Amino acid sequence: MTLSTQQRGRVFLVVALCLLTLCITASFSTHDWQRTVQISIGLCALLYGMSMATAHREQLLIDRPTSIGLVIILGLGLVSVGFAHQPLWALTEWALLITCGSIAVAFAVLRRNGDETLDRVLILFVLLLCLIKSLQYGHSAFLAFTRGASILDMDLLLSGFSNKRFYGQFQTFTLPLLALPLLLSTTSRTARGLVFVLLCAWWLIAISGGTRGTWLGMGAAAMVLVFLGPWGRRWLAWQVTALGCGLFFYWLLFSVLARHLGVEVSNFADERLTASLSNREVIWWQAWDMIRERPLSGFGPMHFADIANPVAAHPHQAILQWASEWGVPSALCVMVLALRASWATLMVVHQRAQTRVSADLLRLCLFAALIGALAQSMVDGVIVMPNSQLWLALVVGWLMALHPWQVPGRAIPSLYRAWTVLAALSVALLIFVACRDLPYTKERNQQYMDAGKTHLQPRFWVQGVIAHEGR
């Protein structure tokens, strides 16, 4: 039995969303698990894309200048791989970029071949994820206050991520999207009230996590959307109101109630709201030294992790990371493409700032999520962490699908075939790396800690340092 175009899309969407749910909500979710899920979704995206060859050729997702820019970036990436100290790891990072692109293309094709029903499915999925995480947080807080312990460690309230900053990255993507039902005229008053309560709870968790990158990302999104018409300002009003409620309940729970019960709160959020760089200056200087030493080719994709340092396996700064690993020319191409795409989306949002069409309001929220993620990537590893890479691919893919083309065009068949071959080879390489490494992750992590290291440094895996002993 041959599945129709819509049926194939539904199968891919259900599988991808189920895997994303397991990636975030499962109690056993770790960095390595999320990387495995990412590879699995990449395989699903590849199979879906191959089954939709005709649909790919009939629609334009990116224009010719963008296609040329991507070819240049991938070509420069291969040159950088050739100069890398460990070419296989460099090629793995190169393949990971293509796989993320395949996931974005799959979501774009899915939405292009569907209708606004898929938009509702996406938002319901976001609501469900945030509801589950909020319930997990509430359950942990309830146990912390009722078990009679004298100390409440707030970091233990955040589950599903190996680092609370990764939780904050997930919230940067989802906080803007949670406001969409509050903007839609079709949302009933009861549903609007429930969504607002969830948005308040989500802000409460963001506050308690204390991830400064989330504050930076949401602040950047707010500064842009305030100039994007009445709906942008209404989006901002809902966010500010929910933020105020979240702050109030945070104070009520962890100050008033904790003091009343005689519970001492550790890892308090305001202890992390400082202007310190948290040792980022160490890794930023390392990235800058790498750029000065090899400005053209870089040290190779993933090769910041090939030079051991006591802080991290990536610079926590997207531009420095790309320039130091892929080379300055490649970083400039990426920046030009990102700015060009952002500007094109900004113009569409601005032109349709007065409309109440649900697709336009969704574009507004997706654009806010993208701005927040890009801003946070300046101080955090948004382009490194597997879950954040998945959400970035989802947001970019959906924005690609919603973008209205002024001049109709068709995809170039030869370019699509080349992309399919590259995507297949990339997914195959990632599967090989996963099969090679996953059975020995515990032993490798323990050996790393036994060598006197104080903490794991995530990159591809949770122990992401690929430097050989003494390098």
The three-state secondary structure class of 266 is strand
Q: What is the pLDDT of residue 1?
A: 45
Q: What's the CA gap between 458 and 385, in Å, rounded? A: 8
Q: What is the pLDDT of residue 58?
A: 52
Name the burial class of residue 268, with classes exposed (0-12), middle (13-18) and buried (19+) by CB atoms within 10 angstroms of its CB: middle
Q: What is the pLDDT of residue 53?
A: 61
Q: Mean of the per-residue pLDDT values for the chain?
A: 88
The three-state secondary structure class of 427 is helix
Query: Could you report the per-residue pLDDT of 210-266, keeping only the tens digit for each?
Result: 788 899 999 999 999 999 989 999 999 999 999 999 999 999 988 888 888 888 887
Q: What is the pLDDT of residue 407?
A: 56
Position 467 pLDDT exceeds 90: no
Query: Could you report the per-residue pLDDT of 338-360, keeping only the tens digit for each?
Result: 999 999 999 999 998 888 889 99
Percent share of the chain, pLDDT over 90: 59
Own/partner contacts of 13-17, CB < 8 Å, gap of 24 or more, are: 13/110, 13/118, 13/121, 15/41, 15/44, 16/41, 16/44, 16/45, 16/106, 16/107, 17/121, 17/125
Q: What's the CA gap between 184 and 356, in Å, rounded? A: 8
Average pLDDT (190-214) is 92
Q: What is the pLDDT of residue 147?
A: 81
Average pLDDT (435-460) is 86
Predicted confidence band of residue 115 (pLDDT cuts 50, 70, 90): confident
Position 337 pLDDT exceeds 90: yes
Name the burial class of residue 295, with classes exposed (0-12), middle (13-18) and buried (19+) by CB atoms within 10 angstroms of its CB: middle
Query: Could you report the per-residue pLDDT of 359-388, keeping only the tens digit for each?
Result: 999 999 999 999 999 999 999 989 999 999
pTM of the model as a whole: 0.94
Q: What is the pLDDT of residue 260?
A: 83
How much helix, strand and coil, in percent to the nearest 5, is found in the chain? 75, 0, 25
Please name the helix (run of DSSP H) or strand (run of DSSP E) that holds residue 138, with its range, or none. helix 116-146
Matching residue, tokens 């590893």? 381
Give the relative orientation of helices 328-351 and 358-376 as an angle to the nearest 10 degrees: 150
Query: Could you report the per-residue pLDDT of 387-425, keeping only the tens digit for each?
Result: 999 999 999 999 999 988 765 555 566 777 888 899 999
Name the burial class of residue 270, with classes exposed (0-12), middle (13-18) and buried (19+) by CB atoms within 10 angstroms of its CB: exposed
Which comes out higher in pLDDT, residue 170 or 154? 170
Q: What's the CA gap between 22 and 129, in Å, rounded? A: 10
Average pLDDT (140-152) is 82
Select from 31, 9, 28, 70 the least CA-distant residue to 422.
Answer: 70
Q: What is the pLDDT of residue 426?
A: 96
393, 396, 397, 403 alpha-carbon torsion, rounded to 10°: 180
Please name the helix (run of DSSP H) or strand (run of DSSP E) that holds residue 367, with its range, or none. helix 358-376
Q: What is the pLDDT of residue 95?
A: 97
Position 92 pLDDT exceeds 70: yes
Q: What's the CA gap between 36 and 103, in Å, rounded? A: 14
118-132, 269-283, 410-424, range with the lowest pLDDT: 269-283
Q: What is the pLDDT of residue 421?
A: 92
Q: What is the pLDDT of residue 272?
A: 64
Q: What is the pLDDT of residue 259?
A: 85
Q: What is the pLDDT of residue 56?
A: 52
Domain ranges of the chain: 1-114+381-471, 116-272+355-376
Average pLDDT (280-303) is 93
**DSSP secondary structure letter of residue 264:** E
Q: What is the DSSP string of 35-94?
A: HHHHHHHHHHHHHHHHHTHHHHHHS-SS-HHHHHHHHHHHHHHHHHHHH-SSHHHHHHHH
Q: What is the pLDDT of residue 388?
A: 94
6-10, 80-84, 122-126, 463-467, range with the lowest pLDDT: 6-10
Q: What is the pLDDT of residue 194?
A: 95
Please report the sign of the dihedral spanned by the C-alpha atoms of residue 155, residue 158, residue 162, residue 163.
Answer: negative
